[in-house]
Amino acid sequence: MKHVDEYRDGAAARRYADAIAQMVTRPWSIMEICGGQTHAIVQHGIDRMLPEEITLLHGPGCPVCVTPAEAIDAAVEIALRPAVILCSFGDMLRVPGSQRSLLWAKSQGGDVRMVYSPLDAVAIARDNPEREVLFLAIGFETTTPTTAMAVLHAERAGLKNFSMLVSHVLVPPAMSALLDDPQCKPDGFLAAGHVCAITGAREYEAVTKRYRIPVVITGFEPLDLLQGLHMCIRQLEAGEAVLENQYSRSVREEGNRAAQSAVGSVFQVTSQDWRGIGTIPGSGLRFAARYAAFDARARFPDLAPTPAPPSPCISGEILRGARKPPDCPAFGGTCTPEHPLGATMVSSEGACAAYYRYRKPAGVPKIEEARHEEVPR
């Protein structure tokens, strides 16, 4: 696949890893807030290619995992009501809210449907005029334009039976919240390339200036990540703190104006709860007044409030690097990957799930000094 395969070249990736190793003179920690980047780093063993001095921190970048339990509980409750079709992205279906997941609701007879695009939910609404169709709108800024457009399509089609349960999250306020925490440690950031393709670079420039920290907008393939890391570490070694754009083939300075415009007309910025972290002001979206009719929370005002179960979960502190998973009283006992209590265990990209797996006896082989040759095709 063009524009994908070229960036998965192992030999080229190793050259970047070597260049980083030669450049580094002291320890640096670099954080990314993007589930997709975390995924790629782990899949390709990117962090294992880097010298000891470099620590990669995985911030709260999995939108599915930071979606508050309350939103899932609301979706589950609505899904069980008669004459409702609840549509959701696939990876959201399995996440438990405070008790139950959407897959559970489906097993109880709820009409829960997986969709690839919010427009598919609009099509379902069009095809089922006698049913209420809801879309669980989660995701970062890459996804918000697509859900905004779903609303615009629904408005254009005059649909009265379509609404969205919105629980979007925005990255820059989360970055600021992490950096405002004195216990938070990153020296540099990789900004999520696809989020920036939409939002542009401006807000991230503000972060570099305010916190004097280098930020590199980075793509998702191994070569992108290594190049982004190389750029970030070069800055750190040189004492620089500016915004750079590694992902220039997809990210423009101004971002995507049409997408920003759609989001700006359908939504407004608001406070948002992040699972395992808490409330971050200005980090979420709610409907603008003009589109209030599409707000599922307004259509279903009588939802039972989610009881906040007393939880020993310390995800928030772990995400900021203030505590480590073994510090947590629930770790490995009441909280495991099969029954997680917080975001860092729900996502196996999270620190707690990582530590949990590493504890397994016998056997993660020590990495040899010699490089592996990739088996030729």
Partner 1 sequence: MNDKPFFTPQCPSPERDEGLITLAHGGGGLLTRRLIDDVFRPAFAHNAEDLTHDGAVLEVGDTRLAFTTDSYVVKPLFFPGGDIGSMAVYGTVNDLAMCGAKPLYLSAGMVIEEGFALADLRRVVASMSRAAQVAGVRLVTGDTKVVERGKGDGIYITTSGVGQVRAPRPVAPAQIREGDAIILSGDIARHGMAVMAAREDFGFENDIASDCAPLAEPVLAMLDGEIDLHCLRDLTRGGLGTALVEIAVDGGCDLQVARSAIPVSDTVRGACEILGIDPIFVANEGRYIAIVPGGQAGSALAIMQRFEKHAAVIGEVGRPQQTGQASLTTMGGDYVLDLPTGEQLPRIC
Partner 2 sequence: MCLAIPGELLSISGDDPLTREGRVRFAGIVKSANLAFTPEANAGDFVLVHAGFAISVIDEVEAARTLALLDELT
Rule CB under 8 A: choose which of 104, 287, 291, 294 binds partner 1: 104
Q: Between 243 and 314, name the residue whose CB sits nearer to partner 2.
A: 243
Residue 374 burial by CB count (10 A; 0-12/13-18/19+): exposed, middle or buried? exposed
Supply 331's token pair: 């770790």
Residue 158, token pair as written in the block: 């005059």
Residue 250 touches which member of partner 2, partner 1, none, C-beta under 5-8 Å by kind: partner 2
Q: CA 92, 299, 100: angle at the middle one, nearest 5?
A: 30
Q: Which of 46, 87, 262, 319 binds partner 1 (CB under 8 A)?
A: 46
Instruction: Considering only residues 264 through 323, tell me which ones interact with partner 2, judged by CB under 8 A.
Output: none
From 19, 42, 206, 322, residue interacting with partner 1 (rule: CB under 8 A): 42
* 259 interacts with partner 2 by CB under 8 A: yes
The count of residues interacting with partner 2 (CB under 8 A) is: 54
Q: Are 228 and 246 in contact (CB under 8 A)?
A: yes
Q: Which one of partner 2, partner 1, none interacts with residue 332, CB within 5 to 8 A by kind?
A: none
Buried b or exposed e, range 127-139, using 16+ CB within 10 angstroms = eeeeebbbbbbbb
Instruction: Choose among 98, 30, 92, 46: nearest CA to 70.
Output: 98
What is the size of the binding site for partner 1 (CB under 8 A)?
A: 76
CB 102 within 8 A of CB 151: no
Nearer to partner 2, 116 or 358 (CB): 116
The single residue among 37, 176, 315, 344 that binds partner 2, judged by CB under 8 A, is: 37
Kindly tell me which residue out of 25, 26, 52, 156 binds partner 2, with binding defined by CB under 8 A.
156
Establish if 119 lies at the interface with partner 2 (CB under 8 A).
Answer: yes
Q: Which of 171, 162, 164 is nearest to 189 (CA)?
A: 171
Q: Which stretch binds partner 1 (CB under 8 A): 79-87, 91-99, 198-206, 287-295?
A: 91-99
Is 42 among the residues that bind partner 2 (CB under 8 A)?
Answer: no
Which residues face 165 on adjacent strands?
A: 136
Specify the residue, 70 or 91, whose C-beta has the smaller distance to partner 1. Answer: 91
Of 2, 4, 82, 158, which one interacts with partner 1 (CB under 8 A)? Answer: 4
DSSP per residue, 235-284: HHHHT---EEES-TTT--TT--HHHHHHHHHHEEEEEEEETTTEEEEEEE
Q: Which stretch binds partner 2 (CB under 8 A): 175-183, 216-224, 351-359, 361-369?
A: 216-224
Give the residue with the Cβ less far from partner 1, 16 or 204: 16
Question: Please, what is the minimum distance in Å from the beta carbon of residue 268 to partner 1?
Answer: 23
Q: How far is Cα 312 from Cα 306, in angstroms, rounded to an integer?
A: 17
Nearer to partner 1, 99 or 248 (CB): 99
Q: Say which residues have a Cβ less than 8 Å from residue 78's Cβ, sequence separation at least 6.
A: 84, 86, 134, 165, 296, 300, 303
Q: Which of 24, 30, 34, 277 binds partner 2 (CB under 8 A)?
A: 34
Confirm if 25 and 52 have CB atoms less than 8 A apart. no
* Residue whose entry in the numeric block shows the structure tokens 């508050």: 68
Which one of residues 48, 81, 212, 249 is an interface residue with partner 2 (CB under 8 A)? 249
3 binds partner 1 (CB under 8 A): no
Confirm or reject binding of residue 242 to partner 2 (CB under 8 A).
no
Q: Is 127 one of the binding residues for partner 1 (CB under 8 A)?
A: no
**Farthest-apart Cα atoms in the chain, separation:** 66
Name the one residue in this structure whose structure tokens are 């916190």: 211
Tell which one of 156, 301, 308, 358 touches partner 1 (CB under 8 A): 358
Quote the CA–CA distance of 151 and 292 in Å, as a whole number: 10
* Residue among 48 and 202 whose Cβ is closer to partner 1: 48
Contact partner, 51, from partner 2, partner 1, none, Cβ < 5-8 Å per class: partner 1
Residue 374 C-beta: closest distance to partner 1, Å: 6
Is 179 an interacting residue with respect to partner 1 (CB under 8 A)?
Answer: no
**Residue tagged 């962090």 (tokens):** 47
